[in-house]
């Protein structure tokens, strides 16, 4: 689990939206992309992200369509 104080300072690297902790992931409140948290360290790398169902690339995410 990630420290709630640290979570307040983290944002989705794709669109700078709020992240919500859910299990072993941080999830973008806007587009739903999941970033893993490994040993309490968030891995906010796009290559490590789990895209929402039906999305084939980060370019398709609504975070990227600003």
Give domain limits for the chain: 4-64
pLDDT at 64: 64
**pTM for the whole structure:** 0.87
pLDDT at 43: 96
What distance in Å separates the CA atoms of residue 66 and residue 50, rounded to the nearest whole number? Answer: 21
15 pLDDT higher than 70: yes
66 pLDDT higher than 60: no
pLDDT at 63: 73
pLDDT at 1: 72
Tell me the fold of 4-64. N-terminal domain of TfIIb (2.20.25)
């Amino acid at each position: 689990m990630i420290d709630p104080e640290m979570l307040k300072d983290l944002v989705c690297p794709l669109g700078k939206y709020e992240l919500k902790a859910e299990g072993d992931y941080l999830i973008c409140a806007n587009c739903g992309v999941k970033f893993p948290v490994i040993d309490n360290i968030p891995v906010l790398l796009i290559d490590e992200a789990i895209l929402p169902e039906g999305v084939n690339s980060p370019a398709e995410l609504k975070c990227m369509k600003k």
